[in-house]
Chain A
Amino acid sequence: MNSSFSILNSPLSIPNSPFSIQANGLTKWYGKEKTVAVDDVSFTVEPGEIFGLIGPDGAGKTSIFRMLTTLLLPDGGNASVSGFDIVKDYKRIRNTVGYMPGKFSLYQDLSVEENLNFFATVFNTTIEENYHLIEDIYIQIEPFKTRRAGKLSGGMKQKLALCCALIHKPAVLFLDEPTTGVDPVSRKEFWEMLKRLKKEGITILVATPYMDEANLCDRIALLQSGKILTINSPATISASFPHPILKVKASKMSMVIKSLASLRGVISCYGFGEYAHVVVEKENDKIIDNIKEHLIALNLQEIEVRKSEPTIEDVFISFSRNGVN
């Protein structure tokens, strides 16, 4: 797909880019004070890859999406999508990508069916032609096809938006926080859909604030304050965590977290679901005994100290604490 498109490239675009997405030093600032939203961001996404932009609100995810989908001009750097330059070839990019913005932006006054027809028509296709792409998702909202989009529930709106972004069989699919505010079961189903689309050869760039979803991507970029902290496969990023982690539990967790942070040999300590994660300089029997003794001295009961594996969330927290600016 890319090679045939790249013949059409204008001279300024990146020629014969083997990547579905290539960003080089992409930069965006806003306002009189030139607040930097995206700061010299470079990454590549290979065809058929699910690539995640993982970061909190304000990390610059949406600005990156809007530049790559040609809705916003960069203030520095350049990028290509399917081999097309995001500035020179913006019209071609608009024909080849699907974009699901974070904010629901279908026509509220049109019905489910009318919205889908509208998007198919705009892209010179029909619902029938690419129905196989959306079938799994569409059958779930089909019972409500005459309902106005504005009257749909959050979960159904999200499914309709995905159908509309897919109906012209895009080469690259941009999903900006598709699962924010969505319950855990629906989130799981949504990711199963993405895996099926990957099998169809669609490249997916997805943004999410959920760290557990990072593990479902082929590769991820951790993003904070407009900067990329690291890019790699989720497993490699988790394994790169520089210190051992212990998981600790006792009868009063708020006391565990507050008191262990200042213990010798402990780098940091924070809540992690049922346990507290305690990042230690060295993992050995001595530190485990010290932690246990410390908690016993505080009159805590049901003390449990175990070795634990680092996760993407641990990596992200450690980056945040060390400061990236």
Chain B
Amino acid sequence: MKMCLFHFREMESTNNNLSIQTEKLTKRFGDFTAVNEITLEVRKGEIFGFLGANGAGKTTAMRMLCGLSKPTAGKAVIAGYDVYKGTEQIKKRIGYMSQKFSLYEDLTIIENVSFFGGIYGITSSQLKINSEALINRLGLENETKKLVGSLPLGWKQKLAFSVAILHQPEIVFLDEPTGGVDPVTRRQFWDLIYDASDAGITVFVTTHYLDEAEYCNRISIMVDGSIAALDTPSNLKKKFATESMDDVFYELARGAKRTGD
């Protein structure tokens, strides 16, 4: 990984086509090192898969990248802002969708869209345009007054994703967005991811479906807090002399010392 070579000051000035840059980013809780010196860079518009077993440190790392958790050591620049000083600026420029459904179940679809649009500070004229585009994209024209709680999981997840990019962020972070979703909806969800990426949004996604790892431009695999591998899916398979991503994952994660999250 060549990004270790350059200096951090240069990073800040020459990062125009990078959305995420970290250098030895670390998070400790007491004696426990949850994230251990991770170094990576993600290009603008790239779909980056962030893989690892439960407990490898993915969620902790992601929380640092979102400006929600202060690193113990290391450096990171997210959407052009430093994770120590620019957390508020970062939060304005990213979208986040967690595995736990985070829209309001007892508000309607359109109420949720308006609410989150307001939170993001989108002007009402722009919000009107954005929410219409969102509803059309999902084919929900006749459902806008339905309570979100009454929607099937697949629809909820697609809606949550669309709301997470309503303010056209530079980066969207997706934490296991497709868990438990059926095979057809899972593919429709990835169509949305591709569209976002085509529109220039950087997608940083975790998943336990290894077929989805193949849909990413590059992936990293975390083991016990460190990045054990980082490359394109096809290069990783070549490196491990296998045709299946499952084998790559098993090979790396089997040696993990930690269990659970």
Contacts and interface: CB of A to CB of B under 8 A. Distances in A.
Interface in A178-199: 180-188
A11 interface: no
Contacts of A32: none
A186 to B, nearest CB: 6
A181 B179 CA distance: 6
B169 interface: no
Contacts of B84: none
B233 interface: yes
A288 B222 CA distance: 39
B55 A56 contact: no
Nearest to A35: B150
B101 to A, nearest CB: 11
A215 B30 CA distance: 43
Interface in A226-262: 253-254
B139 interface: no
Contacts of A274: 214, 233-234, 245
A95 interface: no
Given A155-B260, A183-B253, A186-B54, A273 B214 contact: yes
A272 B52 contact: no
A274 B249 CA distance: 15
B193 to A, nearest CB: 10
Nearest to A321: B184
A209 B260 contact: no
A316 B54 contact: no
B240 interface: no
A57 interface: yes
A155 B55 contact: yes
A154 interface: yes
Nearest to A272: B211
Contacts of A157: 260
Most buried by B among A177, A184, A187, A188: A184
Interface residues of A, number: 37
Interface string B221-256: 000000000000110000000000110011001101
A140 B259 CA distance: 9
B154 interface: yes
B250 A185 contact: yes
A56 B185 contact: yes
Contacts of B152: 57-58
A153 B180 contact: no
B153 interface: yes
B110 to A, nearest CB: 22
B203 to A, nearest CB: 13
Contacts of B250: 184-185, 188
Contact of B181 (A57, A185, A186, A270): A57
A209 B246 CA distance: 18
B210 A184 contact: yes
A152 interface: yes
B3 to A, nearest CB: 25
Contacts, number: 100
B209 to A, nearest CB: 8
Nearest to A316: B183
Interface in B77-94: none
A184 B185 CA distance: 21
B99 A181 contact: yes
Contact of B215 (A153, A155, A271): A271
B176 interface: yes
A320 B184 contact: yes
A47 interface: no
A55 interface: yes
Contact of A156 (B182, B246, B259): B259
Interface in B165-205: 176, 179-185, 187, 190, 194
Contact of B180 (A140, A177, A186, A321): A177
Interface string A183-227: 111111000000000000000000001010000000000001000
A146 to B, nearest CB: 16
A101 B182 CA distance: 20
A57 B154 contact: yes
Contacts of A184: 53, 208, 210, 246, 249-250, 253
Nearest to B185: A56
A317 interface: yes
Contacts of A154: 54, 260-261
Nearest to B155: A58
A90 B217 CA distance: 53
Nearest to B243: A274
* Residue among B153, B208, B234 with the highest chain A CB neighbour number at 10 A: B208
Contacts of B53: 183-186
A273 B190 CA distance: 12
A185 B254 contact: yes
Nearest to A177: B180
A181 B54 CA distance: 9
A313 interface: yes
Give the top 10 A-B pairs by smallest Cβ distance, nearest first.
A153-B260, A56-B182, A155-B260, A57-B153, A273-B211, A153-B261, A183-B53, A156-B260, A273-B214, A274-B214
7 contacts: A56-B153, A56-B185, A153-B55, A181-B208, A184-B53, A254-B194, A271-B187
Given A273-B245, A274-B214, 7 more contacts: A56-B181, A140-B259, A181-B176, A184-B53, A185-B254, A188-B250, A209-B181
